[in-house]
């Protein structure tokens, strides 16, 4: 069974807290979780191992954008016009193969199938980027979903304990000029041109707006098809007091400068207490 949460828009720290709490929860409760969600306010996220020095914090504040460091790796992302997904899989599931690389491939196939149902002619990239980019949508790598070489989905994983968390951004409409301004070197035309050339959104490809709810349904159906499991809708609000206490603890972690700027270690077995 695939347990599906169609969640509301939340701020950056709470979104990351929920994803990590679900990863911990999944070890005991189920084999596979899928969460679809959004961001309010729009948020700029750093990969786990990136330096916060690359960010133009004044620009983020001027637009009332949030900022958070993700528990997963990869490059920086502006969560603006997108659908964000997270998938949590238990490593010792007898029904679903959950090796990290295979999970990445299966999730990619499901998302590719869903985007194609919207009429977008996607491809799975077979190219390795010449170098690691600080900007998630500044280049495409092997296994990523692209349209004419431009990246439309960016994903990253975290493996810990007995579960794997993978989450990522499905771009609905690209905003390369705003995205580029979030970086300290955004005044260089090279960065703006790179992002504009390397990323795209579903609506950019179709040249019209999409029915977001219909697209979410397509994602769920594609996951059922690829994973050969029935999807059951559930409310994340019903996950229980223990789960939400953990979300609160993790939310304090993801809101802290120790984590966001100082790159504090993520100790998933202990609640974070802000001093």
CA-to-CA separations, 90 to 48, 100, 227, in angstroms, rounded: 22, 10, 14
How would DSSP label each residue in the chain?
-EEEEEEEEE-HHHHHHHHHHHHHHHHHH-SEEEEEEEESS-EEEE-TT--GGGB-HHHHHHTT-EEEE-SS-S-BEEESSEEEEEEEEETT-SSS---HHHHHHHHHHHHHHHHHHTT---EE--PPPSS--SBGGG---TT-EEETTEE-EEEEEEEETTEEEEEEEEESS--HHHHHHTBTTTTSHHHHHHHHHHB--HHHHHTS---HHHHHHHHHHHHHHHHT--EEEE-GGGS-HHHHHHHHHHHHHHHSHHHHTT-----TTS-----
**Has 136 been annotated as catalytic?**
yes
Tokens of 101: 């690389």
Using an 8 Å Cβ cutoff, are 270 and 250 in contact? no
Q: Which of 43, 136, 182, 200 is catalytic?
A: 136
Q: Which residues are catalytic?
A: 136
């Amino acid at each position: 069974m695939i347990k599906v949460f169609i969640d509301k828009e939340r701020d950056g720290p709470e979104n990351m807290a929920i994803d990590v709490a679900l990863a911990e929860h999944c070890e005991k409760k189920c084999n596979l979780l899928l969460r679809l969600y959004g961001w309010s306010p729009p948020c700029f996220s750093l990969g786990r191992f990136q330096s916060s020095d690359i960010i133009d914090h004044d620009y983020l504040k001027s637009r009332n954008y949030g900022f958070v460091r993700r528990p997963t790796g990869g490059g920086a992302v502006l969560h603006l016009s997108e659908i964000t997904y997270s998938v949590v899989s238990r490593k010792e599931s007898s029904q679903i193969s959950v090796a990290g690389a295979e999970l990445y491939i299966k999730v990619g196939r499901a998302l590719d199938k869903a985007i194609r149902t919207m009429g977008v002619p996607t491809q799975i990239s077979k190219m390795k980027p010449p170098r690691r980019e600080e900007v998630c949508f500044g280049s495409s790598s092997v296994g990523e979903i692209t349209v004419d070489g431009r990246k439309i989905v960016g994903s990253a994983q975290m493996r810990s304990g007995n579960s794997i968390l993978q989450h990522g951004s499905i771009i609905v409409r690209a905003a390369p000029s705003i995205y580029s301004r979030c970086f300290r070197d955004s005044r260089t035309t090279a960065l703006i041109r790179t992002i504009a050339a390397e990323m795209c959104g579903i609506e950019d490809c179709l040249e019209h707006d999409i029915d977001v709810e219909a697209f979410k349904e397509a994602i769920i159906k594609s996951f059922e098809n690829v994973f050969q499991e029935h999807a059951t809708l559930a409310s994340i609000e019903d996950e229980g007091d223990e789960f939400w206490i953990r979300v609160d603890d993790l939310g304090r972690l993801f809101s802290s400068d120790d984590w966001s700027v100082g790159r504090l270690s993520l100790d998933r077995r202990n609640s974070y207490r802000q001093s």
